[in-house]
Amino acid sequence: MPGFWSVVGRSLLGRCPKCGKGNLFARYLKQVDHCEDCGEQFGHIRADDGPAWLTIIVVGHVLAPIWLWVLPGSTWPEWFAMTFWATLSLVMLLVLLPRAKGLFIGLIWRNQAH
Ligand SMILES: [Zn+2]
């Protein structure tokens, strides 16, 4: 069994938490049934709402202080500010969501909590 931080690192990169070589996802958020390298089974692990919850928590805690700091003195036109912040939020969500799902799958696998 790999160490806790190895599992965290491999899972965040979308790699098999056991061997670190095979992919954890077949598509954007579609997890593989088993690792193509070591054969470890992942199809039965369900992360459910955990990754979405973690992603929202992280993005909200990163962006909310920036908004409170930047927006009061902003001279940006409203249309630009709304477009910019919405786009930045969306990009952060799309980047973090598969990493959060990988993390949940890896930790559920390591703790045999499925
Ligand atoms: Zn593997």
Would you say residue 7 has pLDDT above 80?
yes
Residues, CB-to-ion distance under 5 Å, ligand 1: 16, 18-19, 22, 35, 37-38, 40
Centre of ligand 1 to C-alpha 13, Å, is 13
Q: How far is the CA of 35 from the centre of ligand 1 (A)?
A: 5
For residue 9, give its domain range: 4-110
Tokens linked to 47: 């992360």
This prediction's pTM: 0.88
The predicted structure's pLDDT at residue 100: 98
Say how many Å lie between the CA of residue 33 and the centre of ligand 1: 11
DSSP label of 33:
S
- For residue 109, report the distance from its CA to the centre of ligand 1, in Å: 12
Note the pLDDT tens digit of each residue in 14-40.
999 999 999 999 999 999 999 999 999
Number of domains in the chain: 1
Q: In the predicted model, is pLDDT for residue 1 greater than 90?
A: no
Distance 106 CA to ligand 1 centre (A): 11
Label residue 66 by pLDDT band (50, 70, 90).
Answer: very high
Instruction: Name all contacts of 8-15 with Cβ < 8 Å and 24+ positions apart.
Output: 8/103, 8/106, 8/107, 10/106, 11/102, 11/103, 11/105, 11/106, 11/107, 12/99, 12/102, 12/103, 12/106, 13/99, 13/102, 14/98, 14/99, 14/102, 15/102
